[in-house]
Amino acid sequence: MQKKRVEVAVGVIEKAQQIFVCLRGEDQHQGGLWEFPGGKMEAGEDVFSALKRELQEEVGIEIYNSSELMRIEHDYADKAVCLYIHHVEDFSGEAHGAEGQPSKWVAVEQLHELAFPEANKAIVELLQARQN
């Protein structure tokens, strides 16, 4: 049996050298861990359109532009994910947990102190390497 493959648009939202993160609900895959917001791409949807839709729904911001940061493919025991990670600095609104999820701004150099899903660790490493 082939694993389910999920394509996800992920936003690394940055403002004043801080990154916005959200806590995954305990009932979700990788629940209880911090994440960069985003969500599943719908059939035929490009990364920017998915990111724009997901960030509006999940964190209440309107994005105008993004740049590709990296792509990560990761196999979990129950599914495979392909993360399309985009850097977002051009947005309006105040990012918050629009679905009631805990969220916060974290300095780039402190990101490694949070527990992230395995697939997100490369994002933290890249962001911190760019700081130095």
Name the nearest CA neighbour of 98 among 59, 56, 44: 59
Name the nearest CA neighbour of 85 among 43, 107, 54, 44: 54
For the annotated binding site for Mg(2+), the residues are: 38, 58
For the annotated binding site for 8-oxo-dGTP, the residues are: 24, 29, 35-38, 120
Instruction: Assign a CATH topology to domain 4-131.
Output: Nucleoside Triphosphate Pyrophosphohydrolase (3.90.79)
| 126 phi, psi to nearest 5 deg | -65, -45
Tell me the average pLDDT across 127-131: 88
For the annotated binding site, the residues are: 24, 29, 35-38, 58, 120
Provide the residue ranges of all domains of the chain, joining segments of one domain with +: 4-131
Report pLDDT digits (tens) over 37-92. 999 999 999 999 999 999 999 999 999 999 999 999 988 777 888 999 999 999 99
Confidence of residue 30 (pLDDT cuts 50, 70, 90): low
Task: Give the pair of three-digit tokens for residue 81.
Answer: 């994910």
Among 23-32, 42-51, 98-107, 121-130, the range scoring the smallest mean pLDDT is 23-32
> In whole angstroms, what separates CA 52 from the centre of its chain?
12
